[in-house]
């Protein structure tokens, strides 16, 4: 048997150039305009120079405003980050105090001798924990408000400063 060898069919490479019309469109030459000794009038040159100067000035203003806004946000995030760390530490402190109170309550329960003592001790512990939780919630609320106020202050100051510049 004779082996049939097949070669992959390849299309002839077509080089597309600027002269090659595409999709059957005829080629058009673009005329070159050369104007000898063309002098731009001084008024047009002056307008163009003013436009470039204004564009540079506006660019500098925008760049300055962007840098200021970036600095304000950085200050705000830094303040918020520090405040949230303080808040987290306060939560840990409160959790530790509550855990210690629970262990103290458990150790006191081990020493009771009657059901009436258990009820009395439980009632006193619950009352004390409720009062403590109220104080702790107030502390956390005050700290959260302080953090929010301090984090917003750089932005508020920057916005007021920006509005005073534009006014």
- Residue 120 counted as domain residue: yes
Q: Is 134 part of a structural domain of the chain? A: yes
d(CA 61, CA 162): 12
Please check whether residue 22 lies inside any domain of the structure: no
Does the structure show a pLDDT above 80 at 4?
no
Domain annotation covers residue 121: yes
Residues 132 and 101: beta-carbon distance below 8 Å: yes
Instruction: Judge whether residue 156 has pLDDT over 90.
Output: no
* Overall number of domains in the chain: 1
Which of 1-10, 62-71, 103-112, 147-156 has the least mean pLDDT? 1-10
Task: Tell me the whole-structure pTM to 2 decimals.
Answer: 0.59
Cβ atoms of 125 and 105 within 8 Å: the answer is yes
> Per the domain annotation, does 146 fall within a domain?
yes
Residue linked to tokens 């009436």: 116
In a domain? residue 99: yes
The pLDDT of 127-132, averaged and rounded, is 96
Query: Which residue segment(s) compose the domain that 91 sits in?
Result: 66-166
The answer to whether position 151 is within a domain reads: yes
Assigned domain for 34 exists? no
Q: Are 141 and 92 in contact (CB under 8 A)?
A: no
């Amino acid at each position: 048997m004779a082996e049939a060898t097949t070669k992959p069919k390849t299309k002839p490479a077509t080089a597309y150039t600027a002269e090659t019309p595409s999709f059957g469109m005829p080629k058009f030459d673009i005329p070159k305009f050369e104007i000898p000794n063309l002098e731009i009038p001084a008024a047009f040159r002056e307008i163009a120079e003013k436009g470039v100067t204004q564009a540079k000035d506006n660019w500098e203003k925008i760049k300055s405003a962007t840098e200021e806004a970036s600095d304000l946000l950085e200050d705000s995030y830094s303040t918020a980050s520090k405040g949230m760390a303080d808040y987290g530490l306060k939560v840990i402190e409160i959790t530790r105090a509550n855990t210690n109170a629970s262990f103290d309550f458990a150790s006191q329960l081990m020493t009771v001798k009657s059901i009436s003592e258990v009820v009395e001790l439980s009632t006193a512990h619950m009352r004390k924990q409720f009062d403590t939780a109220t104080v702790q919630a107030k502390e956390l609320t005050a700290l959260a408000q302080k953090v929010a106020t301090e984090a917003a202050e750089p932005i508020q100051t920057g916005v007021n400063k920006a509005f005073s510049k534009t006014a």
